[in-house]
Every structure is written in structure tokens, then in C-alpha cells.
Amino acid sequence: MRLINDLRVAMAEKQFSIHYQPIVDLRTGQVHKAEALIRWRHPVEGLVSPADFIPIAEETGMIVELGDWVFREAVKQVAAWRRTHHPQFQVSVNVSPMQFRNEGIDQASWLAHLSAMGVPGQGVLVEITEGLLMDAGHNVSGQLQVFRQAGIGLSLDDFGTGYSSLSYLKKFDIDFLKIDQSFVRNLTTDPDDMALCNVIIVMAHTLGLKVVAEGVETPAQRDLLAAAGCDYGQGYLFARPAPAGEMPFALPMAG
């Protein structure tokens, strides 16, 4: 496929950028966290979705270089936001399971970059998926441990869609659960989805984890989640992923 070759030049030609989507405190409306989401502006095709090119980057191994770039850019950005907006701002970075294979992540250089930027580990959340936790090889738990020891938080993305046993939540010392948007979409009409969200929130809190609901698009969804005790919301209701300069730092919680 042509995209494979294009992906190789895209790196050199700086065709990638990062959009950020706020992660909103559902009690206060404050925004002290944001998820970094990569964007590719292809010279001919225009904007190509990461859903289309991340799998190619994974298959070709390019995800390692791309992931390094995303991390470095996101850390630069959070350094700026911690100076100008809030000293505890956190940026949440998606890390592909492929990056954990064969020591794809040079963890020492990631930590060195953090300290060069003056950002403590607490400034970063690493978003992983359930599948990664089931990977017994590749010293996944050792690599996650290195992140944890540096203060970096762990967030379990797309929660509820994978097959992980709940015991992994404790074993890997996860900080945040992100309820997959498929459970949020029909929250107002499907009692089963509301029940699942309630159960996830109660279980997470019992284990000392915070919860982020993804794909919040309506005030009704937001209100149900807030009433269920969900800590944070993310979705088009609050803001679409956008360039860093457009980050809203506080959002109204009513109406």
C-alpha cells in the first residue's frame, strides 16, 4: 500500500501534528489533563485518521519512532501548560502494545527527556489497553514498573472491550480506567449500559482508581455519569481534539 512509503517520508517532512482533547473534572469543570492524539496531514490525501495509519505503523515497526516523537512533543507541551496554566497539568499519551515489544521504548531516554523539560513523571499518563496486560512476555510488567517508579501514571484505555481479568487492575497498579465510548453512547436509553457504567465506577473506586468516561456527547450523558460518581469526562460535548492553542481550561458543568 502506498501509505507505507508515504509514512516513511511523513516523519522526515514533519507532516504529523498532535491534537489534544481535554479530560474534564465532572465536579468542577476544570481541565487539568488532556489526551494527546496524533494527526497526519498527507500532502495529497489530506487528514488521514490514526485508525488507518497506526495499524500500518505497527506492522512496519515505525510505531517505535512515531511513538517516541509523540511522547517527546507531548512532554514539551505539558511543560508549557504546567508553567502557564496549572502546575499539575498531565498529558495522557497512547502507547501501542507494539512499542513494548523487543524493548521498543528507550525508557532511559524518555525519562531523560522528562527531566530535560523540567517535567516530573507525574506530568504524564501512559494509556495502555487490556491486551497489553495479558502479554506475559516482553517484560511488560518490568517496563510498566519503570514508568511507575518514575511517577508516570497508568491509564487503562477502552476499558470493558478487552478480555483482561479484573485482577490485572491490582497487579499492575493502574491509576485510571477509561470507560469505552461504546458504553456511553446509549447511556440514556439502554439500562444495561447504565448498569455497566455504575458497576465499573464502583469497582474502580473500591480499588482506588479514578474513572474517565469517553465519548461524552450530550449533557444528559454527562449528568448521568456525574451522578454515578464518575470522576472525569472526555468527548465532543466538551471539546473535539484540537491543536494545543485551542485547549479550553475550564468548561461549564451545567446546561
Query: Which residue ranges make up the site for ligand G (CB under 6 A)?
Result: 21, 37-38, 49-51, 54, 70, 94, 96, 157-158, 181, 214-217, 235-236, 241
CA dihedral 82, 84, 85, 88 (to 10 degrees): 20
Looking at residues 19 to 48 of the shown chain, list those that interact with Na ion (rule: CB under 5 A).
none
- Give, for 57, the enclosing helix (H) or strand (E): helix 50-60
Identify the DSSP state of 13: T
How far apart are CB 218 and ligand G at their closest, in Å?
A: 9
Residue from 60, 117, 146, 158 binding Na ion (CB under 5 A): 158
Q: Which stretch binds Na ion (CB under 5 A): 37-45, 77-85, 130-138, 214-222?
A: 214-222
Helix (H, G, I), strand (E, B) or coil at 192: helix
Of 54 and 244, the one with the shorter C-beta distance to Mn ion is 54
| Residues 6 or more apart in contact with residue 219 via CB below 8 angstroms | 237, 255
**Checking DSSP bridges between strand 31-42 and strand 16-25, what pairing results, if any?**
antiparallel
How far apart are CB 93 and Mn ion at their closest, in Å?
A: 9
Q: Which residue is nearest to Mn ion (CB)?
A: 157
How far apart are CB 36 and Mn ion at their closest, in Å?
A: 9
Query: What is the binding site for Mn ion (CB under 5 A)?
Result: 94, 127, 157
Residue from 157, 184, 187, 221 binding Na ion (CB under 5 A): 157
For residue 227, what is its C-alpha cell? 451522578
The number of angstroms, rounded, from the C-alpha of 107 to the middle of its chain's C-alpha atoms is 18
Of 217 and 223, the one with the shorter C-beta distance to ligand G is 217
Helix (H, G, I), strand (E, B) or coil at 226: helix
Q: Count the neighbouring beta carbons within 10 Å of the beta carbon of residue 13.
A: 11
How far apart are CB 21 and Na ion at their closest, in Å?
A: 11
Binding residues for Na ion, per CB under 5 A?
A: 157-158, 214
